[in-house]
């Protein structure tokens, strides 16, 4: 299912990019904010290089990461909603380069290019479907299974294959992962160590190396 979803996401993105003109690029340094609740987005972005965390900030100030987007991913579609949509934050989790399209330009483009409008709607529907799956996982899965699902998704979307059959993912910190799966850093560290002892992954400052097939096989039965 995850691989099928990832392929569908790629197809949706390609449909959108096929109708977008080349635009200017902007550099953001590690941990620099791209936009925040107090400064809502006025553009949509394409990640040229690096990774960006998209999070939601609640009224009580708590924050959960809803997605991590990497090269060739689009984000910032909430700009279409204007000031009525607040609470979203985008943060560069490493040095990134982003291509930007002001939302006013996109609104003009979709009136001239109906296929772009359709492609954007399909992409938004896919994003909503992904969020629905995450919400379901929060409701039925324990922390370790949520963490395993998240790592598999990162490896399929953002990973680079290694010669030994593993997939290397960026060195996401345990603090970052904890905000993605909805728990504490200490609990993520505990489960990452457990998954490492079971041979499903290894990690260092250079990155996370995930053995996808073994971890996927373990998902067919309760993790132990």
Give residue-wise pLDDT tens across range 26-37: 999 999 999 998
Mean of the per-residue pLDDT values of the chain: 87
pTM for the model stands at 0.83
65/5: higher pLDDT: 65
Name the band, by pLDDT with cuts 50, 70 and 90, for residue 206.
Answer: confident
Q: Which pLDDT tens digit goes with each residue over 104-135?
A: 999 899 888 888 888 888 888 888 888 888 88
142-218: CATH architecture = Orthogonal Bundle (1.10)
Question: Is the Cα torsion angle 139, 144, 147, 152 positive or negative in sign?
Answer: negative
| Region 2-136: CATH code | 2.60.120.10
CB 175 within 8 A of CB 56: no
3-class DSSP state for residue 58? coil
Percent of the chain with pLDDT over 70: 91
Considering the chain, tell me which residue range(s) the CATH 1.10.10.10 domain(s) occupy.
142-218
CB 159 within 8 A of CB 171: no
CB 44 within 8 A of CB 79: yes
Considering the chain, tell me which residue range(s) the CATH 2.60.120.10 domain(s) occupy.
2-136
Name the band, by pLDDT with cuts 50, 70 and 90, for residue 184.
Answer: very high
């Amino acid at each position: 299912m995850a691989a099928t979803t990832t392929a569908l996401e790629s197809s949706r993105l390609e449909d959108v990019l096929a109708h977008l003109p080349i635009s200017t690029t902007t550099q953001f340094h590690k941990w620099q904010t791209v936009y925040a609740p107090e400064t809502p987005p006025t553009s949509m972005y394409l990640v040229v290089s690096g990774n960006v965390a998209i999070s939601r900030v609640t009224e009580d100030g708590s924050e959960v990461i809803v997605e991590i987007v990497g090269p060739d991913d689009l984000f910032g579609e909430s700009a279409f909603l204007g000031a009525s949509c607040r609470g979203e934050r985008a943060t560069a989790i490493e040095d990134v380069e982003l291509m930007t399209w002001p939302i006013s330009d996109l609104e003009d483009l979709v009136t001239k290019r109906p296929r772009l409008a359709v492609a954007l709607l399909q992409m938004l529907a896919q994003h909503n479907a992904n969020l629905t799956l995450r919400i379901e996982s929060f409701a039925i899965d324990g922390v370790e299974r949520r963490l395993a699902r998240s790592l598999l998704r990162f490896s399929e979307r953002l990973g680079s294959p290694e010669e030994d059959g593993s997939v290397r993912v960026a060195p996401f910190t345990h603090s970052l992962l904890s905000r993605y799966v909805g728990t504490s850093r200490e609990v993520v560290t505990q489960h990452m160590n457990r998954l490492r002892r079971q041979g499903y992954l290894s990690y260092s400052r250079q990155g996370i190396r995930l053995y996808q097939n073994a971890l996927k096989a373990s998902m067919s039965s309760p993790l132990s």
